Structure 1
Amino acid sequence: MKRLSALAALAPIAIAVGCSGSTTPTRGGDTTCSDFIKANDSRRHQIVKEFLTESGEATPSAGELGNKINSVLHFCYSVADHDVSKIRDAQALEAPPTKTLDQKAVERGVLRVLTDSYDIQNVSDVTCPADEPVTTGHTFTCSVVVNGSSKTVTIKVIDDEGTYEVSKPQ
């Protein structure tokens, strides 16, 4: 396995709701837990996106949005007064943002390790999954094309700083 530090590739994901400091009510954030629970999945996505946009937050990825919706549902079902509590109140229960590897940086890193460290030529089409967590011991695979043949490499995160190992193509 070859190691590559991905400090610059880390992309902490901000999924906290209501961090803008604004006291201006928002339509999404003012949605009651009762209304949020009754809403279908599409409407829940719309409510959370609307609130994040109005709060000045970046539009989250689909995975981040799903996590946010689950967090709000957990809050609404376990803590909140359904008819009074607003979804913006769920921010107090937010877990700290999860560090993830930057997909494009990992793809570039895999290409570099394969060509420079393993001395493999004709490597192309490196594709790695998005939003892989920076958790020691976490593994995932990326696909690559070597000399026209599809292969996979295993990526293993070896520390909480984002350093990872790249296996030889299989």
Structure 2
Amino acid sequence: MTRAKVVLLTAVSAIAVLSGCSQVAEVTNKGGETTCGDFAGFDEKKQNETITKMLTDEGKNEPANAELTGTRLSITTYCQVAG
């Protein structure tokens, strides 16, 4: 094969792999993400449940009230800044 054919084949293969991976991520990521809009619409109890699930999914223990309050403040501030 010529050098041009090898480069073309490599580029096509890379594009195929990358586009296939992005589709897999879309399928496997359903339902696990809470948007800022969703979080802001939750009452305090639902926000605490969401934060608790997020922290326990990361392998942390059940959060204390201070950790819930601090995390809620961080999330709220992030959502106001980043949208």
TM-score (norm 1): 0.30
- Could you tell me which of 40, 54, 59 is aligned with 1:56? 59
Deviation of the 1:77 alpha carbon: 1.1
Q: Name structure 1 gaps, 5 residues minimum.
A: 1-22, 81-170
CA RMSD of aligned residues (A): 2.0
Deviation of the 1:76 alpha carbon: 0.5
Q: Secondary structure at the match of 1:77?
A: helix
Deviation of the 1:53 alpha carbon: 1.1
Query: Normalized per residue, which structure has more helix?
Result: 2
Q: How far apart, CA to CA, are the structure 1 residues paired with 2:51 and 2:81?
A: 19
Q: Name structure 2 gaps, 5 residues minimum.
A: 1-24
| Structure 1 partner of 2:44 | 41
Deviation of the 1:55 alpha carbon: 1.6
Aligned residues: 56
Q: How far apart, CA to CA, are the structure 1 residues paired with 2:52 and 2:63?
A: 8
Q: How far apart, CA to CA, are the structure 2 residues paired with 1:43 and 1:51?
A: 12
Cα deviations by residue, 1:41-99 (Å, 9 ceiling, x for unpaired): 0000000101111121222110111100010000001113xxxxxxxxxxxxxxxxxxx
Runs of 4+ with >3 A deviation = 23-26
